Structure 1
Amino acid sequence: MSQTIAPRVRTLLLLLLAVTGALLAGAAPVSAHAALTGSDPQQGAVVDEAPAQVSLTFSEQVAMSDDSVRVLDPKGKRVDTGKTSGQGGNSYTVKLHSGLPDGTFTVTYQVVSADSHPVSGAFTFSIGAPSKTSVAVSGQEVGGGVVGGLYGFARYLSYAGFILLVGGSAFVLACWQRGTGVQAVQRLVVSGWLALTGATLAMLMLRGSYTGSGKVGDIFDLDLLSQVLQTKTGAALVSRLLLLAAAALFIAVLFGAYEKREDEEEKNDLTFGLAIGGFVVAAGLAATWAMAEHASTGLQTGVAMPVDVLHLLAVAVWLGGLSTLLVALYRAPSLEKSAVQRFSRVAFGSVAVLVVTGIYQSWRQLGSWSALTDTWYGQLLLIKVGLVVVLVGIAWVSRRWTARLAQAPARTPAKTSAKTSAKAPVKASVGASTPKTSKESKTPKGSKGSKGPKGTGGRTDQKEPASTGGGDGGSAGGGKRATQLARQRAAVTTTREKRLRNADPLRSGLRRSVLAEAGVAVVLLAVTTVLTSTEPGRTEEEAKAATATTSEQPGEALSLDIPFDTGSEDGKGIARVELDPARVGGNDMHVYVERPNGKAFDIPEVKVAFTLKAKDIGPLPVVPDRIATGHWTASGVQIPMAGTWQIAVTVRTSDIDQVTVDKNAQIG
């Protein structure tokens, strides 16, 4: 049975990793966590005189460098001084040169939000009257590409490593102290430490390029690395590495000195010390996320950061303990029922902490019921809640198996063991017959030749076994055979123990339910990683409200149906482009691709471009994200000025079949 289980486990893990990769791939580029809520001049505005400066207001504080904000004239030449300064609150300004000509100017910005995520965008304003411009104004995206994908994967590995490190150690100390001597458990915890350490180093190297140019070559730029070390995120990552050094010492004691302790009182004292020290290190590691991400900005940060630490610790104890239990059920020679029962209680307490802290975090990040369904953050949160409910349901099944396991009488395979052990020497004796005979012939009782120093019979009796392998070689051969026999006996014993474990229906049932829990946990961790890289619903709605308040050119939603035909056998359909609110400034865009019969058309790629031919602006490319079959969306699509815009849609239905169709529409 164990031979059939292993392929199933490998297949399930491969499927889970594929789902995880798909979720992480869909997370890049990340959504902005700070939004531009106002500017002076306002986006799309026409002013009579050239301003002395341009000011930007964000929904939260951001980190800026001297080149974070650029102002370009109609020819694409910089007209700002390159010096940005804060004006209090969330407002920042950049000075402009004097004597600016009339025309349309472009403002681009690339900053880092307070919760460590890169933010970029652009808008235009005009002096005197709008003019042609050579600057392409598209909704800039940072945090994507190869570097963004690598950074996202490193974030996932860091969470996974933290869970295995903390949860595995907690399981051993609180539930199964005998597990310190199990190699599979040791490897699991050490793997968690290695994953977290490697991911932290990778994030530190990738950070500069991730928030800046996005170029792979900038990953090893030491100047960028020195700049990262001066930021809040850089300080958090360095602190994490220092804490991981302490964690390495903790692991060495846990699986070294602790496992060798035999005195019960000394072991209890060491358990207490490891529990206190481990909690301090684990809380410190969790705090490196809380101090640099969502919890560190927004409402009630003094409460949110400790709550976030508790949330992360509860996740680690539950899911990390679950992973350790799974390893123990499959790899450990035996696992006490009491250990499973203790973990069941610990897991229940962890889930209770998760529910309380999760409700608070959800309220803090969403702010309204509408954000739960109208924002991507809210939709991801619903998916996460659904996965948690499924996980708790499977955990309930595991608790039932645990209760049945505890009530079941202990298995006593004494007869089988006795039989097998009685047979084992018989089999072993076959391989040991030669050395035994040689030993008997070497010291025959009552033989005179054995005592005679020069007797021919004595010499013959002693040399006869040496003819098989020769003197010392014979004893060495016997030693080898004895070692081989010992290994064979150990292998037989291990196989017998595995068969007995696999034959236990209660243990098998618990093993299957725990494996299902671990599978859902892998996907849940991927969704959580994406969630931490998504703009909170409260921030998104506040930004939309502020933009709507400051906009001087309200508009109505625009909807265009554009038929297409790629010329292939299955290449006909309709592309519906919806732009809301179809005004100057930021817009939300949805593209629905349907077949002629109205059903969703599953195609690999859609691109949209906006061109204002009257002002020679564009094409401004927009690459929407696929969120469902035949449904693509993009937020923050910038329309720099009002006019009749040509909206071109490129539809690719296969590797070689694609077509570009367009339609004109009045925007703003």
Structure 2
Amino acid sequence: MTAEKRRRWAVLAALVLGALTVFVGPASPASAHAVLQRTTPATQSVVQAAPADVKLTFSEGVNPVAGKIQVIAPNGDRVGGDPRAEGSTLIIPVRADQRGTYLVSYRVISADSHPVSGAFTFSVGATSAVPALTEDGDETDPVVAGVIPVAKFLGYAGLVLVVGPVLVLLFLWPSRLSRRGPARLVRTGLGLVAASTLAALYLQAPYTSGGTILDAGGLGDVVASAFGTALLVRLGLLVAIAIMLRPILAVRGDGGRTGEGPIDLIVLAALGAAAIFTWPLTGHPSASPVAAVSVVADAVHLVSMAVWLGGLVMLIGFLLRQASERELGAILPIWSRWAALAVGALLLAGVVNALIEIGTLDALTGTTYGRFILVKTALFAAVVGIAAYSRSLVRKRVTAERPGRIRTAVRAELAITVVVLGVTSVLVQQTPARTEAENAVLADQGYFSVLVDSPLYTLQVELDPAKVGGNSLHLYAYEPGTTNLLTTEEWTTTAALPAAGIEPIDVPMLRVADNHAISEFQLPAAGTWEFKFTLRTTEIDQATVTVTVDVAS
């Protein structure tokens, strides 16, 4: 191997290693991409009548993970039935025939194929010690979480090595030059995409179940899912594309290729477009608020990236070394226009997706997803600057006089875009900023609301801001299990903090309507407060319900 070849391979290895460090570094499990909005019974509520089922409502559609959804009774028995999903609501039949606290543990798959796990409690009649889980596995294995971005990076790299080189071979490649090198490049790209797809299909099983990398027990469920279907379709399309590419990659004795007709190119383009759409259909765009727009924008983003970066690979790997001055004089202006169009489409699609997935300036700077977007934008700005410099060299036609300058510029452009690929591989595993911001709002909104049941009434409790200091309490009474207003004769409320030794404090209530009472009062300390509400609905009928509220400092 010559010194020049060794130097080129060393540069390529350094670029790949640099990109790997970008996405292997943050190998923590990806966060949930759907938000648990409410539960019935409500979290930490005390209900008098045992529920027939438990309902969890999320911000997007979910599917249950087999064996990972449990309802544990106060005595430790599993009392949950087979869960079912109805859109964004997960319904778990329960046999809640014991008095005390129940623990609900769940793991579901969100619409964008990412797992969502968590747990909460509710009590029947009165609170008791929280039962222990009978199984673990609610967290994503860190090895699985680390390998998934690597597999995604290989898929993106393979896409680059197919799309850009094929376009160059079709429209810019000098007929006198051998196609052996580019053909090997394209075949390598096809192999990388296939390997990445198979890896993604396999890894989705332990990723969704919370198992180790060797745990493929749920592979059948993955294959049967929409995610698995999209990946299988991609594999089938890859086979068809490989067959259609044979005449383009075939080499004649003079270094040229066998011919292909316009119908073949149309079919190849259609197959390629269909394959591209399998990427957004298995990621964030499929669960976006405007899924059709997000899917199209993401597909345009991928194609533009593959054309631009794949063309740079062909320039630096072959054309700048093998093409003559006259050939470069014809090729580079055309490539420069292609690159400008690809960059423009890349920028437009990226802005559209960022507006959808981020939404607000606070989410851009205050979320992990947003910060990755900022890093990617900075890198993109740098590479656009270098590309503009390359275009200026082409316009000035200095490539023949000083070819080293454009080679250096293209290498720098290629280096940064490889790192951008690495950042993208991590980005697609992160919780979208809109979802992360919604999670933060739910966690810090300083507002508590719950519905609790008794044989005489259903009570809606609202406490604002549920923090130390002044609070507003609103109580609304309804007929049991309905939304019909219930006239209430008397309201009595007490609040206690047993963990801090604070005995029940009377909370004065002001009746403002037949079914509505309010109070303004002070909470002196943070912790889990226990509220007891006694409502008298007639001269002799009354019932008491208990609600626990986590009060922040």
Q: Counterpart of 1:61?
A: 61
Rg bigger for which structure? 1
Note the residue ranges of structure 2 that are not aligned, 5 or more in a row.
Answer: 450-462, 469-497, 501-526, 530-549
1:335-350 equivalences in 2 (<5 Å): 336-337=327-328, 338-350=330-342
Q: Counterpart of 2:349?
A: 357
Q: Which amino acid aligns with 1:85?
A: R
Q: Counterpart of 1:176?
A: 173
Decide whether the 8 Å contact of 1:190 with 1:251 is kept in 2.
no
Aligned-pair identity (%): 33
Counterparts of 1:137 and 1:384, CA distance in 2: 43
Distance change in 2, residues 1:109/1:260 (3 Å): farther
Query: Is 2:251 aligned against 1:253?
Result: no
Report the CA distance between 1:9 and its aligned residue.
5.8
- Corresponding residue to 2:208 among 198, 208, 211: 211
- Corresponding residue to 2:285 among 275, 279, 295: 295
Counterparts of 2:339 and 2:433, CA distance in 1: 30
Report the CA distance between 1:156 and its aligned residue.
1.3
1:140-155 equivalences in 2 (<5 Å): 142-155=139-152
Report the CA distance between 1:145 and its aligned residue.
1.9
Q: Counterpart of 2:395?
A: 403
SS of residue in 2 equivalent to 1:51: coil
Q: Counterpart of 1:119?
A: 116
Q: Counterpart of 2:84?
A: 85
1:254-403 equivalences in 2 (<5 Å): 254-256=248-250, 267=259, 270=260, 272-329=262-319, 332=322, 334=324, 336-337=327-328, 338-403=330-395
Query: Deviations 1:480-539 (Å, cap 9, x if unpaired)?
Result: xxxxxxxxxxxxxxxxxxxxxxxx6x2211111111111111110111111111111222
Report the CA distance between 1:305 and its aligned residue.
2.0
Distance change in 2, residues 1:144/1:163 (3 Å): farther
Report the CA distance between 1:546 and its aligned residue.
5.0
Report the CA distance between 1:123 and its aligned residue.
1.8
Q: Counterpart of 1:97?
A: 95
SS of residue in 1 equivalent to 2:278: helix
Query: Is 2:528 aligned against 1:642?
Result: yes
Counterparts of 2:466 and 2:319, CA distance in 1: 62
Report the CA distance between 1:106 and its aligned residue.
1.5
Q: Counterpart of 2:238?
A: 244
Report the CA distance between 1:19 and its aligned residue.
4.4
- Corresponding residue to 2:415 among 499, 514, 519: 519
Counterparts of 2:4 and 2:211, CA distance in 1: 46
Q: Counterpart of 1:188?
A: 185
Q: Counterpart of 1:531?
A: 427
Q: Which amino acid aligns with 1:525?
A: L
Q: Counterpart of 2:130?
A: 133
Q: Which amino acid aligns with 2:203?
A: L
Counterparts of 2:175 and 2:134, CA distance in 1: 63
SS of residue in 2 equivalent to 1:29: coil
Counterparts of 1:156 and 1:75, CA distance in 2: 48
Counterparts of 2:307 and 2:176, CA distance in 1: 16
Q: Counterpart of 2:406?
A: 510
Q: Counterpart of 2:73?
A: 73
SS of residue in 2 equivalent to 1:176: coil
Decide whether the 8 Å contact of 1:254 with 1:274 is kept in 2.
no
Of 296-305 and 282-291, more deviation after overlay is shown by 296-305
Counterparts of 2:252 and 2:281, CA distance in 1: 33
Counterparts of 1:280 and 1:15, CA distance in 2: 32
Counterparts of 2:96 and 2:278, CA distance in 1: 45
Report the CA distance between 1:149 and its aligned residue.
2.1
Distance change in 2, residues 1:143/1:164 (3 Å): farther
Of 34-43 and 295-304, more deviation after overlay is shown by 295-304
Distance change in 2, residues 1:524/1:76 (3 Å): farther
Report the CA distance between 1:22 and its aligned residue.
4.1
Counterparts of 1:303 and 1:180, CA distance in 2: 41
Query: Is 2:105 aligned against 1:108?
Result: yes
Decide whether the 8 Å contact of 2:178 with 2:251 is kept in 1.
no
- Corresponding residue to 1:551 among 442, 448, 463: 448
Counterparts of 2:446 and 2:50, CA distance in 1: 24
SS of residue in 1 equivalent to 2:99: coil
Note the residue ranges of structure 1 that are not aligned, 5 or more in a row.
Answer: 411-503, 558-612, 616-640, 644-664
SS of residue in 1 equivalent to 2:416: helix
Decide whether the 8 Å contact of 1:184 with 1:332 is kept in 2.
no
1:652-663 equivalences in 2 (<5 Å): none
Decide whether the 8 Å contact of 1:240 with 1:288 is kept in 2.
yes
Of 160-169 and 271-280, more deviation after overlay is shown by 271-280
Counterparts of 1:259 and 1:378, CA distance in 2: 53
SS of residue in 2 equivalent to 1:299: coil
Q: Which amino acid aligns with 1:133?
A: V
Decide whether the 8 Å contact of 2:60 with 2:111 is kept in 1.
yes
Query: Deviations 1:420-465 (Å, cap 9, x if unpaired)?
Result: xxxxxxxxxxxxxxxxxxxxxxxxxxxxxxxxxxxxxxxxxxxxxx
Distance change in 2, residues 1:308/1:258 (3 Å): farther
1:552-571 equivalences in 2 (<5 Å): 552=449, 554=465
Counterparts of 1:230 and 1:260, CA distance in 2: 48
Q: Counterpart of 2:514?
A: none
Of 19-28 and 163-172, more deviation after overlay is shown by 19-28
1:445-594 equivalences in 2 (<5 Å): 506-545=402-441, 548=445, 551-552=448-449, 554=465
Report the CA distance between 1:35 and its aligned residue.
1.4
Decide whether the 8 Å contact of 1:41 with 1:54 is kept in 2.
yes
Counterparts of 1:530 and 1:307, CA distance in 2: 19
Query: Is 2:44 aligned against 1:44?
Result: yes
Report the CA distance between 1:256 and its aligned residue.
0.9
SS of residue in 2 equivalent to 1:341: helix
SS of residue in 1 equivalent to 2:77: coil
Report the CA distance between 1:277 and its aligned residue.
3.0
Q: Which amino acid aligns with 1:146?
A: V
Report the CA distance between 1:27 and its aligned residue.
4.3
Distance change in 2, residues 1:258/1:133 (3 Å): farther
Report the CA distance between 1:214 and its aligned residue.
2.1
Of 229-238 and 195-204, more deviation after overlay is shown by 195-204
Query: Deviations 1:601-645 (Å, cap 9, x if unpaired)?
Result: xxxxxxxxxxxx969xxxxxxxxxxxxxxxxxxxxxxxxx827xx
Q: Which amino acid aligns with 2:381?
A: V
Counterparts of 1:667 and 1:512, CA distance in 2: 57
Distance change in 2, residues 1:261/1:157 (3 Å): closer
Q: Which amino acid aligns with 2:313?
A: S
Decide whether the 8 Å contact of 1:180 with 1:254 is kept in 2.
no
Report the CA distance between 1:197 and its aligned residue.
0.8
Q: Counterpart of 1:592?
A: none
Counterparts of 2:23 and 2:242, CA distance in 1: 31
Report the CA distance between 1:541 and its aligned residue.
2.7
Q: Give the RMSD, CA atoms, in angstroms.
A: 3.3
Decide whether the 8 Å contact of 2:446 with 2:466 is kept in 1.
no
Counterparts of 2:66 and 2:552, CA distance in 1: 34
Report the CA distance between 1:380 and its aligned residue.
1.0
Q: Between Structure 1 and Structure 2, which shows a larger proportion of helix residues?
A: 1
Counterparts of 1:131 and 1:280, CA distance in 2: 62
Distance change in 2, residues 1:320/1:290 (3 Å): same
Counterparts of 1:46 and 1:152, CA distance in 2: 43
Query: Deviations 1:274-318 (Å, cap 9, x if unpaired)?
Result: 542332122111111122222212322223222222221111111
Distance change in 2, residues 1:240/1:212 (3 Å): same
Counterparts of 1:555 and 1:254, CA distance in 2: 68
Decide whether the 8 Å contact of 1:106 with 1:123 is kept in 2.
yes
Q: TM-score, normalised by structure 2?
A: 0.75
